[in-house]
Structure 1
Amino acid sequence: MLNLNTIKNMQPQPANFKAIIQQNREINAAFVEFPFSTEELFGKKGQVRIKALFDNTVEYRGSLAKMKSECHILGLTQDVRKQLGKTFGDEVSVSLIEDTEERIVEISDDIQFIFNENPEAKALFDKMSYTHRKEYIRWIEEAKKPETRENRKTKMIQMILDGKKGI
């Protein structure tokens, strides 16, 4: 018989499947189809945040989404495909669970400083989705030159104030 502590410590069982990496139209974007019912597994019809493990090697946090398709799909970023050494038409094994952890975007001190000087932009930034916040921060962090990083921070503030949700 299960007691409350046992139930709290139970880990959800992963959904495991194999799928073919498909190309999204003519662009360099890939996805796999999720072959199960999200409503039955997660109690959700719409988007489901997940943690995935591809080919037992590459970890990924993303979402299952219903994109005008018969089933939910899971995007595979270019980085994930590169780490796997796979492309469109290749088979990949997927193991995923629902991601219930809060998604936090780490903000470096210099970016936090510019937000402190622009509290309105920071408030708008905080209301954005995790993905949009992550995109802005990654865009700045990927700058190779210090002057590019500074320019991007200034541009980010203006873009946020102009209502642009992401890069």
Structure 2
Amino acid sequence: MTDDLEALLREERDVRAISQLKYRYLRTLDSKDWDGFADCFVPEATGDYNGLVFDDRAALVAYMRENLGDGLVTMHHAHHPEIELTGDTATGRWYLYDRVIVEAFSFMLEGAAFYSDRYVRTPDGWRVAHTGYRRTFEATYNLGDLPGFKLTGPGVHTHT
């Protein structure tokens, strides 16, 4: 194999690993797998979600655990990755579409944003060093205004 081909294969493996990391971040967030979510980050990771700022992994994970717990259904989709590698670090930009449903308050939020992430290669693979997004829009709904709305699924607790 030529050096150019080997470098291209390494880059493709790294981009795939970073993409898998982002997908795992979203899956563990939505499934409320807080240990798995924490494992996506280095301990000193920071976050900035549209001005909601975190100085380390512990604070970020604690906030998500406390505020996205039972009674909240979330769905996060990230796509259109733009990943740039620089040795053992990388940056990523992703388009986010998300939805949050709080049936007890008859509330739904739907929105979009652009994630800007930084990644670092560790002995255990790629991890998030910084994550955050800036919203492009946010729409909120009263579920009572959506005739026929019904929420079902594993882990969904209906309120009457």
TM tier relative to shorter chain: under 0.3
Larger Rg: 1
Higher share in helix:
1
Q: With structure 1 as the length reference, what TM-score do the two structures score?
A: 0.21
Q: With structure 2 as the length reference, what TM-score do the two structures score?
A: 0.21
